[in-house]
């Protein structure tokens, strides 16, 4: 295995900001390298002890929704080139599923999620911290399109959730973490200049 510790690139930003597109653009740039993506969303807390009606009230945009301790534990193992049992979240049952996925260690770890820059312990593990910064109106349009097409949601339910939960949580918890970023990428995956700069920096670290 490699003799250096793996590189961790954190990619944060609001829902619909384009952080997943940015993460995939980095992933696709290194097809011959040992690289992986780890989503903070996989580490939503297990809620199996709660009745289903209670689980429906979960605020997925709040730091308390995540089992960040488990994520940090897994990252420490991956940094030592050990594989980890990554949890799988069941969005229909609103709790962690029985399944796990074995995640093999890689030389480059892209850590993606809305709140990954909110925890100092996570930030301290990152070599590059990226915040994808996209206007609220573009993010709501993307979210409406995604949730109606991919998740079978109604327009009203998406708008209500956005106005009552997603937007206030973004301004309270997510946007303030932008100050911790090394690189702020406006407009997500469309920003090829910013992505090229990030990829160049990763290449430099890998070569050294």
Task: Give which of 74, 71, 131, 82 is closest to 105, Cα–Cα.
Answer: 82
Cα torsion for 176, 179, 183, 189, to the nearest 10°?
10
Do residues 96 and 88 touch, judged by C-beta distance below 8 A?
Answer: yes
Residue 48 lies in a domain: yes
On the question of pLDDT at 62 being above 90, the answer is: yes
Our count of domains for the chain comes to: 1
Q: pLDDT-derived band of residue 31, with 50, 70 and 90 as boundaries?
A: confident
Q: pLDDT-derived band of residue 206, with 50, 70 and 90 as boundaries?
A: confident
List pLDDT tens digits, range 110-126. Answer: 999 999 999 999 999 99
Q: How many other C-beta atoms are found inside a 10 Å radius of the C-beta of residue 206?
A: 16
On the question of pLDDT at 98 being above 60, the answer is: yes
Question: In the chain, pLDDT over 70 holds for what percent of residues?
Answer: 99
Domain that holds residue 42: 7-207
Residue 2 lies in a domain: no
On the question of pLDDT at 33 being above 90, the answer is: no
**For range 31-57, the mean pLDDT:** 93
**Which residues on neighbouring strands pair with residue 12, listed in sequence order?**
131
**For range 153-181, the mean pLDDT:** 94
Do residues 161 and 170 touch, judged by C-beta distance below 8 A?
Answer: no
Q: How far apart are CA 178 and CA 184, in angstroms?
A: 7
CATH of the domain at 197: 3.40.50.300
Q: pLDDT-derived band of residue 150, with 50, 70 and 90 as boundaries?
A: confident
200 phi, psi to nearest 5 deg: -65, -40
Q: What is the pLDDT of residue 1?
A: 47
**For range 139-143, the mean pLDDT:** 91
Task: Tell me 92's DSSP state.
Answer: T
With tokens 């970023």, the residue in question is: 181
Do residues 84 and 103 touch, judged by C-beta distance below 8 A?
Answer: yes
Q: What is the pLDDT of residue 147?
A: 87
End-to-end CA gap in the chain: 16
Residue 56 lies in a domain: yes
């Amino acid at each position: 295995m490699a003799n250096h510790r793996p590189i961790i690139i954190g990619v944060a930003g609001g829902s619909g900001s384009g952080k997943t597109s940015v993460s995939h653009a980095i992933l696709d740039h290194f097809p011959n390298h040992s690289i992986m993506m780890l989503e903070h969303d996989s580490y939503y807390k297990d809620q199996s002890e709660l009745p289903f009606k209670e689980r429906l009230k979960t605020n997925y945009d709040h730091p308390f929704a995540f089992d960040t301790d488990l994520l940090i534990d897994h990252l420490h193992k991956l940094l030592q080139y050990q594989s980890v049992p990554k949890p799988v979240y069941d969005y229909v049952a609103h709790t962690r599923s029985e399944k796990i996925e074995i995640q093999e260690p890689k030389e480059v770890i892209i850590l993606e999620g809305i709140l990954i820059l909110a925890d100092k312990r996570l930030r301290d593990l990152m070599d590059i911290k990226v915040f994808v910064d996209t206007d609220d109106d573009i993010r709501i349009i993307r979210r409406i399109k995604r949730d109606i097409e991919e998740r079978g949601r109604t327009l009203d339910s998406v708008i209500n959730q956005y106005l009552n939960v997603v937007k206030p949580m973004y301004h309270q918890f997510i946007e303030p973490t932008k100050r911790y970023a090394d690189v702020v990428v406006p407009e997500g995956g469309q920003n090829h200049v910013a992505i090229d700069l990030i990829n160049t920096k990763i290449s430099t670290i890998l070569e050294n």
